[in-house]
């Protein structure tokens, strides 16, 4: 029987990968909106559409690596870093979510970030449908 904690990690991994995938696709499909986000939240003005596409492509690659649990330390860590920067950039909305002009929807990023950190911490236990796990078993059989 598969431990429920491993099922929980699988579901967290799939959810986090899909979350990053959608935002990566947005960078490619909506470079103007991405430029506005970078300007408004990161202080980066004039993000070129090509750079938005490159960043989106990298984020999609990371999300796919997370989805299949490949290079977990690197892919999960990069995913946490990407979403961590995004979450920290919305700190005013997180600190005063009900203040005038704030947006309560930014609070949704906080549990996603904390779940992703939990996934990173427990990455060695994330074994269901894990490409890392499959490659490790194959290497042991061939040794």
Give the start-to-end residue ranges of the domains of the chain: 4-142
**29 has a pLDDT exceeding 90:** yes
Residue found under tokens 């060695």: 124
First to last CA, the chain: 28
d(CA 116, CA 76): 8
For 67-101, write each residue's pLDDT tens digit.
999 999 999 999 999 999 999 999 998 998 888 88
Written as six digits, the tokens of 124 are 């060695």
CA–CA–CA angle 66, 134, 64 (5° rounding): 20
**pTM for this predicted structure:** 0.93
Q: Where are the alpha helices (DSSP H) in the chain?
A: 4-29, 31-42, 49-67, 72-88, 91-95, 109-121, 131-142
d(CA 113, CA 141): 37
Mean pLDDT confidence for 27-37: 96
DSSP-derived secondary structure for 96-121: STTSTT--GGGGGHHHHHHHHHHHHH
Nearest Cα neighbor of 36 from 25, 26, 28, 47 is 47
For 51-63, write each residue's pLDDT tens digit.
999 999 999 999 9
pLDDT for residue 143: 82
For 97-107, write each residue's pLDDT tens digit.
888 888 889 99
pLDDT for residue 102: 85
């Amino acid at each position: 029987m598969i431990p429920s904690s491993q099922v929980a990690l699988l579901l967290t991994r799939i959810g986090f990968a899909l979350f990053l995938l959608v935002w990566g696709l947005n960078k490619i499909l909506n470079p103007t909106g991405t430029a506005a986000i970078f300007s408004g939240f990161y202080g980066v003005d004039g993000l070129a559409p090509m750079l938005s596409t490159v960043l989106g492509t990298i984020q999609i690659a990371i999300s796919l690596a997370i989805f299949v649990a490949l290079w977990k330390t690197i892919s999960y860590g990069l995913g946490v870093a990407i979403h961590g920067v995004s979450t920290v950039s919305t700190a005013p909305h997180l600190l005063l979510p009900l203040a005038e002009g704030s947006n309560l929807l930014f609070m949704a990023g906080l549990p996603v970030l904390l779940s992703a950190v939990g996934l990173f911490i427990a990455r060695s236990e994330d074994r269901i449908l894990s490409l890392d796990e499959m490659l490790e078993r194959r290497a042991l059989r061939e040794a």
